[in-house]
Amino acid sequence: MTSSPSLLIAGCGDVGCRLASRMRDAGWRVHGLRRNADALPAGVRPVAADLTAAECPRAWPEGPLDYLVYSAAASRHDEAGYRATYVDGLHNLLDWLAARGQRPRRLLFVSSSGVYGQDTGEWVDEDSPAEAAGFSARIMREAERLALGSGHPASVVRLAGIYGPDREWLLRQIREGWRVRREPPLYANRIHAEDAAGLLACLLEAAARGERLADCYLGVDDEPAPLHEVVDWLRALLGVRHWSAQEEIRRTGSKRCRNARARALGWMPRYPSYREGYAALLDAGERS
């Protein structure tokens, strides 16, 4: 009788907990690593730990670990905070694996589409140059290289802007009358938190079936859209009629990300565009 696969999710926050619940329900043995292990879903084996601390956690899983997802989120959004979370934290995790002789069959490193520096509405995919100049993109690319060169089979998953319950920044800005530039349009890319977890689950399940995975996948919905179109649609849905006095621009980048590689693997977003995703959020009570 074949035992169920074991999975460790390091940095088990919002997306990680959604993934943990999916894989638990699929019969996998799931370990969730986070500082506050009490916040893990029921049935997920807790590993209370700080990835930025060099000492291996006492609750580290014994025995083989078949799959590993590194999905940490920086608590400090400066250069030191990014390096501690994405590079040093991954170094620590790889050291803990080596110390126990554990060799996962696949490591998934959750990265960001922010590594792309394109800013004139270009279409980008996994093979496009990823050369954004900011410290966050530079450090994320360094962490990607660390994962891919770790000696474990690895894939990088570059997620676009994640939205969902408890991620209300855009809705709050629109209620305040937020303005964005219309010409030239600022293209934005996004993915619902549930679809981000679904993509990671799809990759894990494909790996468990023995399918060959690529080094990199883009996690984004089907419809990159000019930010002003998203704002106009949400203003109408929310009934917002006033505008703020000052134009505000959230981002300087402007690109359109393709998800064809992920879709070719069999993944399909539940929320293919911002319209389905935000409508579901508001129907679930976000109008209040």
Rounded alpha-carbon distances, angstroms, from residue 176 to 183, 194, 277? 22, 27, 21
Contact 122, 256 (CB under 8 A): yes
- Whether residue 5 has a cis bond before it, omega within 30° of 0: no
Mutual orientation of helices 135-148 and 89-99 as an angle, nearest 10°?
20
pTM: 0.95
Kindly give the confidence (pLDDT) of every residue in the chain, 288 residues in length, as a single tens digit, with 9 standing for 90 and above.
458 999 999 999 999 999 999 999 999 999 999 999 999 999 999 999 999 999 999 999 999 999 999 999 998 889 999 999 999 999 999 999 999 999 999 999 999 999 999 999 999 999 999 999 999 999 999 999 999 999 999 999 999 999 999 887 899 999 999 988 888 999 999 999 999 999 999 999 999 999 999 999 999 999 999 999 999 999 999 999 999 877 665 556 799 999 999 999 999 999 999 999 999 999 887 443
Nearest by Cα to 71 from 204, 183, 237: 204
